[in-house]
Structure 1
Amino acid sequence: MVLLGESIGYSLSPTLHNAAFAHDGIDCVYLACSVESSGVRAAMDGLWALGARGANVTIPHKQQALACATEATPTAQALGAANTLVRTPEGWRADNTDVAGFLAPLDAHRSRLEGARVVVFGAGGAARAVVYGVLTALEAAKVTLVARRPEQAEALAADLETAAGRAKMQVATPGTAASSVREADLVVNATPLGMGDGRTPWPGADDFRPEQVVYDLVYRPAQTPFLDAAASRGATTIGGLPMLLGQAGAAYRLWTGREFPLDVAREAALSALQS
């Protein structure tokens, strides 16, 4: 198994998957392989020739991996991106487990989030999975996309128009989003801000409130400035590690047909984060 992407030395995926394989006695190894966009198809062909069982794909190759696959699941097709490749007799099947990973830690809060008002910071691939998840699984009533480039957020909203159904989709910039953040039931950071740089997509701690769930997809560090600000106002906070484990577990089941040893993988990830 491999992870295909660029600048992926930070990834915890090899750590948690290799821990899971060792625990389950599976003769597999998971490696991170940096690949340029021009080499994605060749990398997929090479993995196929080597007999690889599957792969993960991360930015910026998720759309290209989907295009190069022989077939795709409805979720991958709806998102226009694949983060998981599964070997089949016919070729690579593209799937997307980001949605399942994002939703996994929200199960405990589902009753208060069904029909929620949601704010999502970002308009890239991670935001696409988040928006699709809240629309299809939580039946969000309203989704506000906050992006520095509104045209990118508008394109995302247009792409997911079918999934939106009767939900209200709107676009805001960081300068116009305060009222949406204050009224939201769920606030999600789907940008890289906070990944070891001390930055936050939303500096206004006073806009958070105790009734909210605030979720940061960044997992390194475990507690970001964004989550610190929300916690200071009493909000329920969720870091990015549960999503990473959730999407990894879904991919693991697709590759092996076995349940993911979640506790083993979590312990390995936490140990790596603390080292």
Structure 2
Amino acid sequence: MKYAVIGHPIQHSLSPVMHNANFKALDFEATYEALDIPPKHFHLIKEIMTEKEIDGFNITIPHKERIIPYLDEIDTHAQTIGAINTVKIVNGKWIGYNTDGIGYVKGLNRVYPNLKDACILLLGAGGASKGLAAALNQVVEQQLTVANRTMSRFDSWDLSVNTMSLKEAETHLNTFDVVINTTPAGMSDNQDVVISLDQLAPNTLVSDIVYVPAKTPILKLAEAKGNPIYNGLDMFVNQGAESFKIWTGQTADINVMKETVLEHLKRRD
């Protein structure tokens, strides 16, 4: 069996080492690779996957919504979100799923046990944000707030959330218990911070769905202010385990997956 992750850029991804470690631990005969597909070449996605004989793949930034027209079927949960991070290929049929939100909420619940009562702000309105919002809506009693620079991005949202601009969010920042960055700001060598933390309340948990680097610029700023922080490592591992289950029907070795990722992150530091 052959699996892959597609995105652009993709060189930072530890999906291959994580999944291949899981395959080895389970004695499962399969391979997993990273494929860098620039947006201008995305129209060739079917040909690329067919040529490489891929049986299933993950999708990361910036292709989570772009993949939708190429799918034959979409899981109900993913349909609600309008973004895909996992595709299973069965007899040439492409079926889309979204495991991002499920993976993130599982981890967040452990570090923030009172999640159901939390007032949450999501930064960004892309595919990752949609996935998290859909999953959080199943757990959180208060309505979520999502902030984005361009308000027109919300035109494609069918989820029940409060929406505001990033500027508005900055002025109301002290009203939130959890702030989650879902934008690419801070990923890899990017040093951008999508929002000012000047109005951040003292105990607010600041999270980033990025796991490389372990502390993005926004997390470093929050930590310097004395706030608790939480990165995207658990989300990454959990969503990968969910994807593996979709592809194979088997339960992944989450401990091996997480240990492998942590080991490779230490080597990079």
Which category of TM-score, normalised to the shorter sequence, fits these structures? 0.7 to 0.9
Q: Deviations over 1:21-42 (max 9, x none)?
A: 1111111010112232121122
The 5-angstrom pairing of residues 22-171 of structure 1 reads 22-35=24-37, 36-46=41-51, 50=53, 52-89=54-91, 91-108=93-110, 111-139=113-141, 141-152=142-153, 154-156=154-156, 159-160=157-158, 163-164=159-160, 169-171=162-164
Q: Is the 8 Å Cα contact of residues 105 and 235 (structure 2) preserved in structure 1?
A: yes
The 5-angstrom pairing of residues 150-229 of structure 1 reads 150-152=151-153, 154-156=154-156, 159-160=157-158, 163-164=159-160, 169-173=162-166, 175-195=167-187, 196-205=189-198, 207-210=200-203, 212-229=204-221
Q: Is the 8 Å Cα contact of residues 84 and 95 (structure 1) preserved in structure 2?
A: yes
Aligned in 2, Cα 1:65/1:113: closer, same or farther, shift over 3 Å?
A: same
Q: Deviations over 1:72-128 (max 9, x none)?
A: 111111122211111335722211111112212122256522143221111211112
Q: Deviations over 1:164-203 (max 9, x none)?
A: 2xxx512122x32234311102110011111233332233
Aligned in 2, Cα 1:60/1:228: closer, same or farther, shift over 3 Å?
A: closer
Distance 1:127 1:57 in 2: 14
Amino acid at match of 1:68: Y
Distance 1:237 1:110 in 2: 11
1:13 matched to 2:15? The reply is yes
Amino acid at match of 1:235: N
Cα offset, 1:205, TM superposition: 4.8
Distance 2:197 2:64 in 1: 33
Q: Deviations over 1:191-237 (max 9, x none)?
A: 11112333322332551321x22211111110123122323444332
Matching residue of 1:230 = 222
Q: Is the 8 Å Cα contact of residues 4 and 55 (structure 1) preserved in structure 2?
A: yes
Q: Is the 8 Å Cα contact of residues 197 and 222 (structure 2) preserved in structure 1?
A: no
Q: Is the 8 Å Cα contact of residues 97 and 250 (structure 1) preserved in structure 2?
A: yes
Q: Secondary structure at the match of 1:62?
A: coil
Q: Secondary structure at the match of 1:136?
A: coil
Q: Secondary structure at the match of 2:223?
A: helix
Q: Is the 8 Å Cα contact of residues 73 and 95 (structure 1) preserved in structure 2?
A: yes
Q: Taking structure 2 as the reference length, what is the TM-score of the superposition?
A: 0.88
- Greater helix fraction, Structure 1 or Structure 2: 1
Q: Which moved more, 1:77-86 or 1:13-22?
A: 77-86
Q: Which moved more, 1:91-100 or 1:109-118?
A: 109-118
Cα offset, 1:134, TM superposition: 1.9
Amino acid at match of 2:216: T
Q: Taking structure 1 as the reference length, what is the TM-score of the superposition?
A: 0.86
Amino acid at match of 2:45: V
Q: How many residues align?
A: 261
Q: Is the 8 Å Cα contact of residues 14 and 31 (structure 1) preserved in structure 2?
A: yes
Q: Is the 8 Å Cα contact of residues 4 and 32 (structure 2) preserved in structure 1?
A: yes
Distance 2:47 2:206 in 1: 40
Distance 1:41 1:60 in 2: 17
* Structure 1: gaps of 5 or more residues: none
